[in-house]
C-alpha cells in the first residue's frame, strides 16, 4: 500500500476497512477495487496488486467476502468479482464504528496546531 506523504505504518491498519467499504456498493473485481479506493480517497491510498490480492484472500478465508468468477463486462477472460458476505457487512459496520471512534479520539491532537 502506498500513499502520498504518509507513513505506511499508519495506513496498514486501514487496508481491510477500505476493501470492505469498497465492496459495500456491490461486487467489484481487483482493478475496480483499486480504482474505487483511489477515487474515493482522492488518490490518498494507492494499492498495488501485490498488496491487494493477499488482503482479499485473507478476507475471503475469514468469510468476510466471497469471490465469484464472471465473464468480463468488456470481453476477454473471466474476472473474479468479490462481494461482501453477511459476516462482511457486520464486520464493516464494526470497523466503521471503530474508525469513527479512533478519528474522534485523535481530533483534539489534530486541532492543537
On the question of pLDDT at 113 being above 80, the answer is no
Asked if CATH classification 1.10.1060.10 holds for the domain at 2-110, the reply, yes or no, is no
| Tens digits of residue pLDDT in 70-112 | 988 788 899 999 999 999 999 999 999 999 999 899 898 988 6
Segment 24-33 shows an average pLDDT of: 95
Grid cell in block for residue 76: 476477454
Top-confidence residue, 22 or 3: 22
Between strands 79-84 and 28-29, the pairing is antiparallel
Report the 10 Å Cβ neighbour count for 6: 12
Please name every residue paired with 3 in a beta bridge, in sequence order, or none if there are none: 45
pLDDT at 12 over 80: no
pLDDT at 111: 80
- How far is the C-alpha of 17 from the C-alpha of 104, rounded, in Å? 17
Q: Pull the grid cell for residue 24.
A: 459495500
Q: How many CB atoms lie within 10 A of CB 58?
A: 14
Query: Could you report the per-residue pLDDT of 34-48, keeping only the tens digit for each?
Result: 999 999 999 888 878
Amino acid at each position: 500500500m502506498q500513499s502520498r506523504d504518509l507513513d505506511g505504518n499508519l495506513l496498514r491498519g486501514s487496508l481491510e476497512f477500505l476493501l470492505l467499504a469498497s465492496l459495500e456498493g456491490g461486487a467489484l473485481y481487483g482493478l475496480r477495487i483499486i480504482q474505487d479506493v483511489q477515487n474515493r480517497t482522492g488518490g490518498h491510498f494507492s494499492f498495488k496488486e501485490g498488496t491487494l490480492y493477499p488482503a482479499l484472500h485473507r478476507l475471503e478465508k475469514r468469510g468476510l467476502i466471497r469471490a465469484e468468477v464472471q465473464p468480463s463486462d468488456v470481453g476477454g477472460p473471466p474476472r473474479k468479482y468479490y462481494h461482501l458476505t453477511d459476516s462482511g457487512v457486520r464486520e464493516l459496520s464494526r470497523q466503521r464504528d471503530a474508525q469513527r471512534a479512533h478519528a474522534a479520539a485523535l481530533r483534539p491532537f489534530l486541532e492543537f496546531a
